[in-house]
């Protein structure tokens, strides 16, 4: 049992009398100063595992997460509970960052949420030394593993921060990690010893369905008309989000679309409409969902295949978080296999292509040989591709590989804060008349809030100005646009844009070396993830829930009974007990030679899919064989013989 203070905090701030699942085990471990890794599925209550122990001890909890939406949401929720929390992320102006860091030193705050990119800045590290840090929480910790599906080099800075805080324990949390990634997370975060707590990833209320169809539009409409409740429809690219949402609205199904290219205001409006039920369906890329807490999603549909089981499991897991029945549906067409495999050369273009992109980048920025180190440049990928006749997807991949090889740092789209410069002299400004009371008040607030506005651009926040003036954000924006039209200010509104940061000087392409752990090894793992995803959708022999759980190293000994495979097998005529003993023996003899996918067994024994289904299902139920990563293999101790019962 934990000390009473932990239960008091849980009751006081969250209204619960007891912890659930492995929450208590994780809290006990981190409270005792142990580095701890918690594997908890989406909706498993991860936030309580660090928020409760942080409140029970002196000091500040540093929370590293890449999700700005999640930061803002959690900070807001903590403040509603009377808990002091702050967030620092890309897009904040320098003064706002300094103020937040100073508050963490002197303001008795309990939580500082920070994006991994900010960890390496000089200002953060200088201020960090003066903070009393009680623990470090690393959310989405699979991002630190280069063997994971969502590796982000910025996460490697966390280990450097640990060196600045000797003795401070780290709590790593993730909802998706294979056994290999679990070990890698602990190594890269410098765990003093391995220490993992696992919660079952099984979702008993979630039915996994794969529908084979060549008319996805008709099938999508059929499902949405037949099923009630809130839904998410995932697609591969931004253009399809808009097209699919328009299609649904034309069919009288209320829908919005969401992707990373939308501005924050549009995202907030659409997310609010969906969460309140004003809009039933959100059509989105994978940019949507992280940190979104809507428990009553009844349906998640994938029109396009994700390129990993990890991504699929996380996205599908956003359905049914209230514990009520929900469905995760993939619509699969014959052309999807080739489309998914095509992502391999797009994600891992040839090394010569990568080197050409690097060379053309130097022409683009007119970077001389030996120059460039520590230079930061805005990067317009569409302009770059237009000038050098490239396609954006492989260029994006090439830059990410160059980042992992250490030649540059290519950031995702960052919120670049708005900038403002007064183009009239201060004495001329005071002589201006007829601008209106609201505009005059806005100018006064700007002058009191920011310095150096008459000599250089200053980063400003429209949200902050709206709060101080009592205007809406839209009114502030329109007033600044009007001042720019009157040539009183130069105003550059906030925009999203990636950056190229040179981590070393420009090199000749003959010296560019992309090591195997960056390219060949990661490419092989990517191919393996894609093949398992294809095995999952094409499988009709094994319970889909069991396939997903086996992938994450969890050996589930029972079928879910509700996926399309389980339902089809249950409705088949006859019994699994009718499977001929000779066929079962042949399968065991094959697997004694080594693991095989179900399709290979069917092909090598030259048997029908129906006969293979019955025999394999019986062997699975008897626990004579099991599946890992789509491959069937013998249980330890099983021979290639079948005992014939009389």
Q: How do residues 313-346 score in pLDDT, each as one tens digit? A: 989 999 998 999 999 999 999 999 999 999 999 9
- Work out the average pLDDT over 612-639: 79
CA atoms within 13 A on the CB side of 156: 9
Q: Are residues 389 and 274 in the same domain?
A: no
Give the phi and the psi of residue 627 in degrees, each rounded to 5: -120, 135
CA distance 6 to 25: 12
Residue 392 in domain: yes
pLDDT at 577: 46
Query: Residues 12-61: pLDDT tens digits?
Result: 999 999 998 899 999 999 999 999 999 998 777 889 999 999 999 999 99
CA distance 156 to 143: 9
Residue 643 in domain: no
Q: Cα–chain-centroid distance for residue 227?
A: 27
What is the band of 416 on the pLDDT scale with cuts at 50, 70, 90? Answer: low
- Work out the average pLDDT over 114-123: 86
pLDDT at 575: 42
User: How much is the mean pLDDT over the chain?
Assistant: 88
Most confident range (mean pLDDT) of 235-239, 261-265, 463-467, 584-588 is 235-239
pLDDT at 515: 92
Q: Which of 220, 175, 196 is nearest to 548 (CA)?
A: 175
State if pTM tops 0.95.
no
Q: Positive or negative CA dihedral for 510, 516, 522, 523?
A: positive
Residue 128 in domain: yes
3-class secondary structure, 300 = strand
Query: Please, which residues have CB within 8 angstroms of residue 219's CB and are 6 or more apart in sequence?
Result: 211, 213, 331
Query: Residues 547-572: pLDDT tens digits?
Result: 999 888 887 778 899 999 988 877 76
pLDDT at 247: 96
CATH number of the domain to which 18 belongs: 3.40.50.300
Q: Are residues 447 and 372 in the same domain?
A: no
CATH number of the domain to which 615 belongs: 1.10.10
Q: Which of 162, 181, 198 is the last residue of a domain?
A: 198
- 312, two tokens: 């699929």
Residues paired with 64 in a beta bridge? 114, 138
- Work out the average pLDDT over 291-301: 88
CB 467 within 8 Å of CB 437: no
Q: Which of 23, 76, 30, 70 is nearest to 49 (CA)?
A: 23
Question: Which secondary structure element, helix H or strand E, spans residue 376, and what is its range?
Answer: strand 376-378
pLDDT at 497: 73
pLDDT at 595: 87
CB 73 within 8 Å of CB 139: no
Question: Which secondary structure element, helix H or strand E, spans residue 258, and what is its range?
Answer: strand 255-258
DSSP line for 158-203: HHHHHHHSTT--EEEEES---HHHHHHHHHHTT-SS--EEE-----
Residue 122 in domain: yes
Q: Cα–chain-centroid distance for residue 191?
A: 23
- 181, two tokens: 């990634």
| Distances from the Cα of 249 to the Cα of 244, 279, 296, 595, angstroms | 9, 10, 21, 48
Most confident range (mean pLDDT) of 290-294, 325-329, 376-380 is 325-329
- Work out the average pLDDT over 623-627: 83
Q: Are residues 157 and 9 in the same domain?
A: yes
Query: Residues 251-260: pLDDT tens digits?
Result: 999 999 999 8
What is the band of 308 on the pLDDT scale with cuts at 50, 70, 90? Answer: very high
Q: Which of 198, 230, 261 is the last residue of a domain?
A: 198
Most confident range (mean pLDDT) of 44-48, 50-54, 416-420, 475-479 is 50-54
Q: Which of 607, 537, 615 is nearest to 572 (CA)?
A: 615
Task: Report whether pLDDT(64) > 50.
Answer: yes
Query: Please, which residues have CB within 8 angstroms of residue 414's CB and are 6 or more apart in sequence?
Result: 90, 91, 117, 496, 497, 498, 499
Query: Please, which residues have CB within 8 angstroms of residue 294's CB and are 6 or more apart in sequence?
Result: 230, 274, 275, 318, 321
Query: Please, which residues have CB within 8 angstroms of residue 112's CB and are 6 or more apart in sequence?
Result: 60, 61, 62, 63, 85, 86, 87, 88, 100, 104, 131
pLDDT at 618: 81
Residue 646 in domain: no
Q: Which domain holds residue 605?
A: 540-634
- Work out the average pLDDT over 70-90: 87
| CA-atom Rg of the chain in angstroms | 27
Residue 569 in domain: yes
Domains in the chain: how many in total? 5
Q: Are residues 236 and 103 in the same domain?
A: no
Task: Report whether pLDDT(412) > 80.
Answer: no
3-class secondary structure, 154 = helix
Query: Please, which residues have CB within 8 angstroms of residue 263's CB and are 6 or more apart in sequence?
Result: 494, 496
Question: Which secondary structure element, helix H or strand E, spans residue 110, and what is its range?
Answer: none
What is the band of 399 on the pLDDT scale with cuts at 50, 70, 90? Answer: very high
Q: Are residues 263 and 318 in the same domain?
A: yes
CA distance 185 to 189: 6
633-640 LR contacts (CB < 8 Å, sep 24+): 633/591, 633/594, 633/595, 633/596, 634/588, 634/591, 634/592, 638/588, 639/588, 639/592, 640/585, 640/588, 640/589, 640/591, 640/592
Query: What is the DSSP-derived secondary structure letter of residue 352?
Result: H
CATH number of the domain to which 405 belongs: 1.10.10.10
Q: Are residues 116 and 154 in the same domain?
A: yes
Length of the chain: 646
Cβ neighbour number for residue 411 with a 10 Å cutoff: 17
CA distance 40 to 55: 21
Write the secondary structure of 508-530 as one string of H (helix), E (strand) and C (coil): CHHHCCCCCCCCHHHHHHHHHHH
Q: Among 62-66, 67-71, 72-76, 574-578, where is mean pLDDT lowest?
A: 574-578
Q: No. of H helices and E strands in the chain? A: 27, 23
Task: Report whether pLDDT(574) > 50.
Answer: no
- 407, two tokens: 């030649």
CA atoms within 13 A on the CB side of 516: 2
418: buried, middle or exposed (CB in 10 Å: 19+, 13-18, 0-12)? buried
Q: Are residues 319 and 362 in the same domain?
A: no
Q: Are residues 400 and 468 in the same domain?
A: no
CA distance 512 to 506: 10
- Work out the average pLDDT over 58-77: 87
Instruction: Give first-to-last CA distance, the chain, whole Å.
Output: 52
Q: Are residues 25 and 163 in the same domain?
A: yes
CA distance 348 to 398: 7
CA distance 256 to 413: 22
Q: Are residues 136 and 259 in the same domain?
A: no
Percent of the chain with pLDDT over 90: 53
pLDDT at 414: 57
Q: Are residues 134 and 81 in the same domain?
A: yes
Q: Which of 453, 483, 518 is the last residue of a domain?
A: 518
Alpha helices in 213-308 (DSSP H): 216-226, 238-250, 264-275
pLDDT at 576: 42
Task: Report whether pLDDT(129) > 60.
Answer: yes
Task: Report whether pLDDT(573) > 50.
Answer: no
What is the band of 455 on the pLDDT scale with cuts at 50, 70, 90? Answer: confident
- Name the more confident of 322 and 292: 322
CA distance 409 to 328: 36
pLDDT at 511: 92
CA distance 349 to 638: 43
CA distance 247 to 229: 18
Residue 183 in domain: yes
In degrees, rounded to 5, the angle at the alpha carbon of residue 203 between the alpha carbons of residues 202 and 204 is 105
610-614 LR contacts (CB < 8 Å, sep 24+): 610/572, 611/579, 611/580, 611/583, 612/541, 612/587, 613/540, 613/541, 613/569, 613/572, 614/572, 614/574, 614/576, 614/578, 614/579
Q: Are residues 549 and 407 in the same domain?
A: no
Residue 640 in domain: no
């Amino acid at each position: 049992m934990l000390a009473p203070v932990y239960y008091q905090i849980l009751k006081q701030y969250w209204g619960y009398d007891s912890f659930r699942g492995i929450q208590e085990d994780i809290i006990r471990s981190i409270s005792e100063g142990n580095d701890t890794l918690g594997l908890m599925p989406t909706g498993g209550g991860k936030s309580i595992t660090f928020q409760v122990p942080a409140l029970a001890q002196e000091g500040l909890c540093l929370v590293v997460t890449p999700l700005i939406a999640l930061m803002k949401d959690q900070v807001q929720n903590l403040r509603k509970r009377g808990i002091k929390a702050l967030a620092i992320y890309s897009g904040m102006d320098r003064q706002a960052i300094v103020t937040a860091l100073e508050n963490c030193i002197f303001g008795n705050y309990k939580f500082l949420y920070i994006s991994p990119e900010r960890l390496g800045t000089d200002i953060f590290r200088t201020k960090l030394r003066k903070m009393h840090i009680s623990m470090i929480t690393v959310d989405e910790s699979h991002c630190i593993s280069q063997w994971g599906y969502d590796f982000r080099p910025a996460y490697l800075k966390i280990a450097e921060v640990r060196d600045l805080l000797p003795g401070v324990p780290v709590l790593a949390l993730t909802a998706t990690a294979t056994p290999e990634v679990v070990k890698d997370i602990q190594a890269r975060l410098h765990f003093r010893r391995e220490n993992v707590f696992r919660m079952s990833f099984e979702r008993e209320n979630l039915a996994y369905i794969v529908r084979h169809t060549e008319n996805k539009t008709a099938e999508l409409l059929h499902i949405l008309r037949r099923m009630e409740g809130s839904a998410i429809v995932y697609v591969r690219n931004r253009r399809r989000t808009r097209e699919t949402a328009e299609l649904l609205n034309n069919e009288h199904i209320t829908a919005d679309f969401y992707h990373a290219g939308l501005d924050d205001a549009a995202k907030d409006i659409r997310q609010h409409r969906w969460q309140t039920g004003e809009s039933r369906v959100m059509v989105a890329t994978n940019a949507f969902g992280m940190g979104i807490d809507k428990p009553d999603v009844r349906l998640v549909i994938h029109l396009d295949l994700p390129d990993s089981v990890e991504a699929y499991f996380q996205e599908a897991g956003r359905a049914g978080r209230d514990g009520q029945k929900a469905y995760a549906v993939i619509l699969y067409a014959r052309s999807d296999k080739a489309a998914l495999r095509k992502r391999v050369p797009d994600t891992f273009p040839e090394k010569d292509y990568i080197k050409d992109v690097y060379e053309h980048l130097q022409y683009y920025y007119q970077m001389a040989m030996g120059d460039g180190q520590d230079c930061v440049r805005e990067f317009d990928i569409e302009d770059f591709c237009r000038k050098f006749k490239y396609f954006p997807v492989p260029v994006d991949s090439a830059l990410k590989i160059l980042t992992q090889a250490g030649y540059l740092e290519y950031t995702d789209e960052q919120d670049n804060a708005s900038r403002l410069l007064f183009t009239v002299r201060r004495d001329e400004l005071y002589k201006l008349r007829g601008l209106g009371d609201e505009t005059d008040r806005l100018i006064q607030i700007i002058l009191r809030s920011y310095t150096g506005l008459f000599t250089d651009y200053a980063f400003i926040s429209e949200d902050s100005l709206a709060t101080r003036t009592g205007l809406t954000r839209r009114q502030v924006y329109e007033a600044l646009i009007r001042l720019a039209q009157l040539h009183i200010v130069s105003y550059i509104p906030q925009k999203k844009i990636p950056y190229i940061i040179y981590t070393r000087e420009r090199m000749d392409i003959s010296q560019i070396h992309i090591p195997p752990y960056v390219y060949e090894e990661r490419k092989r793992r990517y191919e393996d993830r894609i093949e398992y995803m294809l095995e999952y959708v094409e499988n009709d022999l094994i319970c889909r829930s069991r396939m997903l759980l086996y992938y994450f190293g969890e050996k589930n000994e029972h079928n879910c009974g509700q996926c399309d495979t389980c339902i089809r097998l249950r409705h088949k005529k006859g019994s699994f007990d009718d499977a001929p003993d000779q066929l079962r023996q042949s399968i065991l003899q094959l697997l004694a030679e080594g693991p095989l996918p179900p399709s290979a067994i069917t092909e090598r024994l030259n048997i029908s899919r129906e006969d293979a289904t019955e025999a394999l299902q019986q062997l699975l139920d008897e626990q004579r064989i099991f599946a890992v990563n789509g491959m069937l293999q013998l249980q330890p101790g099983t021979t290639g013989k079948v005992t014939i019962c009389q």
